[in-house]
Amino acid sequence: MERIIAIDPSSHIPPFEQLRAQVIDAVGSGALPPGHRLPTVRKLAEDLGVAPGTVARAYRELEASGVIETRGRNGTFVSFDADPARQQLERAAAAFADQVRHLRFDADEALALVTAALRAVRTR
């Protein structure tokens, strides 16, 4: 994986974010296929020349977004979900639906608000 991921110490982007973004890109391109076992935190930190906490933070964020999964002592693997971005969007949609229900808004009205917001984003 160290050939796929490279940390630029002179970048203004924090190393954990560089690692996180590069893993997402590698998963999206297929360079890191579903089920691929990732190095341990310590091994990857050593290979990249960063602190173990840097890798641990990137792994935590990648796991929270569904890109990777930790299987206890068996290790950390690329998730079998083919599209982690879609998985994250589905969670956001479910949270939005819960909020709409909690606020007692009509679903059609809520969808109209979302449609208007998406159109506004496109025109920026």
Asked if the structure places residue 56 within a domain, the reply is yes
CA-CA distances (angstroms) from residue 51 to 43, 44, 57, 111, 112?
Answer: 10, 9, 10, 45, 47
pTM to 2 decimal places: 0.67
Domain with residue 46: its CATH number is 1.10.10.10
Q: Is 69 found in the same domain as 22?
A: yes
Round the average pLDDT of the chain to a whole number and report it. 90
Tens of pLDDT, residue by residue over 4-60, are 899 999 999 999 999 999 999 998 888 999 999 999 999 999 999 999 999 999 999
101 in any annotated domain: yes
**Residue 89 counted as domain residue:** yes
Are 35 and 88 within one domain?
no
Q: Are residues 66 and 27 in the same domain?
A: yes
Asked if 80 contacts 37 with a C-beta cutoff of 8 angstroms, the reply is no
71 assigned to some structural domain: yes
> What residue numbers bound the domain in which 97 lies?
84-123
